[in-house]
Amino acid sequence: MATITLKGSPIRVFGELPKVGSKAPDFRLTDSELRDVTLASYGGKKKLLNIVPSLDTPVCATSTRKFNEFARGRSDTVMLMVSADLPFAQSRFCSAEKTGSVMALSMMRDRHFAKDYGVLIEDGPLAGITARAVVVLDQNDRVVYTQLVPEIAQEPDYDKAIAALK
């Protein structure tokens, strides 16, 4: 169990991020077309999972826009923005922000992702959604980088995450 903060107040997070070098846990998430997707849906590509509480918050929106900029023109990598938001809200956000180079995925049908990836907030006002984290996988779904952002109102370390993709 990890502890992060929300504006300085501690909150508990269930589990631990996957270990670097380990095989990433499979998942079942929902895309904007209400289709279920898994790791195999992105087989053979490097993956960056930008795990956020909600796309509809300033820090989450900023991280999505920044990862979208990096994703443009990169056919070997997929950027997955994972949140508890419904696919309809994710689609509205991505359309308004013009973030067509990333894929927004929802946990609406299956909350196992948050537990399996060690990002489920257990207490406080955000209980039931995810902490802010980045997990980078190679093309064989091996974990090459992780970051659990210690203060939920802070942005992730973009440079380290992007460097892990190269």
DSSP secondary structure code for residue 43 in this structure: T
45 to 12, 21, 67, 142: CA distances (angstroms): 32, 17, 16, 11
- Rounded to the nearest 10 degrees, the angle between the axes of helix 87-97 and helix 58-71 is 60
Instruction: Let me know if 94 is a catalytic residue.
Output: no
Of the residues 60, 105, 137, 161, which is catalytic? Answer: 60
DSSP calls for 87-140: HHHHHHHHHHHT-TTSEEEE-TT-THHHHHTT-EE-SSTTTTSBPPEEEEE-TT
Dist CA 137 CA 135 (whole Å): 7
**Catalytic residues, which ones?**
60
